[in-house]
């Protein structure tokens, strides 16, 4: 029942090959996870940038405002009942259509 040196070497080589295949498979999966994670982050960044650009195109005066001033302005605007109703209406239309 003893295996020859050649048989043992063959089993070893097959095991090493299998290990390398699993390592590559694991690396591909890790790369895929990173790609998907970064993709979501890039989509979010793109959305934030384009929406900020839209605000600046409609109200160019905000370009010179500090971050804190802009945030305060936005909070005040979105706390207005009329604006809240418009936002609600727009999101309802988005869901319906």
The H-or-E segment that residue 80 falls in is none
- Using one digit for the tens of pLDDT, what is the confidence trace for 30-59? 999 998 888 888 899 999 999 999 999 999
pLDDT over 70, % of the chain: 98
Are 73 and 65 spatial neighbours (Cβ–Cβ below 8 Å)? yes
- Asked if the model's pLDDT at residue 72 lies above 90, the reply is yes
Distance CA 78, CA 49 (A): 19
What is the per-residue pLDDT for 69?
Answer: 96
Domain ranges of the chain: 1-64, 65-97
Inter-CA distances, 46 with 32, 40, 43, Å: 21, 10, 5
Distance CA 57, CA 62 (A): 9
- Asked if the model's pLDDT at residue 97 lies above 70, the reply is no
Q: What is the pTM of this model?
A: 0.55
Residue with tokens 């982050």: 41
């Amino acid at each position: 029942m003893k295996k020859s040196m050649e048989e043992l070497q063959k089993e070893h080589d097959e095991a090493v090959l299998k290990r390398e295949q699993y390592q590559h498979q694991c690396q591909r999966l890790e790369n895929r996870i990173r790609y998907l994670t970064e993709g979501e982050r890039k989509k979010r960044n793109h959305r934030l940038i384009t929406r900020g650009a839209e605000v600046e195109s409609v109200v160019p005066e905000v370009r010179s405002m500090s971050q804190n001033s802009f945030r305060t302005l936005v909070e005040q605007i979105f706390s207005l009942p009329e604006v809240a109703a418009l936002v609600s209406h727009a999101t309802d239309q988005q869901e319906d259509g």
